[in-house]
Amino acid sequence: MEKSIGRLLSILHRQSQIYINYSLKDFDITSAEYAFLMYLYRKDMATQDELSSYLYIDKSATARAIKSLEEKGYIIREKDHTDKRFNRVYLSDKAKIHKDEIRQRVWRWSEFLTEGIDAESIDEVLSVLENMVGKVERTDLKKTMEEL
């Protein structure tokens, strides 16, 4: 069988979702929601648009995830004081209390995936993936899809 980057990325993505759903079920956080928390743990008080852009998730999916996290008590959402068109999202006390445990559980997956792989190989894989993401960021995908 021919090697396929798409197939391998798809397998890793699906298995990552399964792991995240299982490991964070005690917190009632899903694979569709955890990335938003992880971003906010690094940069609290983001706008919903920032979250969508950084995570490459459409605005409606972002709105659903944010609403769910808000209902679960992990985030607080309010209108931006200077520009009412934007919603500011920030961590609740509940999210801050569980920050270390949530991050540790997510990090365990990366440790599992990279166990037994030398640092140089990991750096090389990360570099290749960053190059691929950079290419996507610089490309008009709609136009490219029409040309293919």
Domain limits, the chain: 5-142
The pLDDT of residue 17 is: 97
Alpha helices in 24-86 (DSSP H): 34-42, 48-55, 59-71
The pLDDT of residue 1 is: 61
**What top-level class would CATH report for the domain 5-142?**
mainly alpha
Give me the residues of the chain with pLDDT under 70, please.
Answer: 1
The pLDDT of residue 119 is: 96
The pLDDT of residue 142 is: 77
DSSP letter for 85, please.
Answer: T
Chain-centroid distance, C-alpha 7 = 20
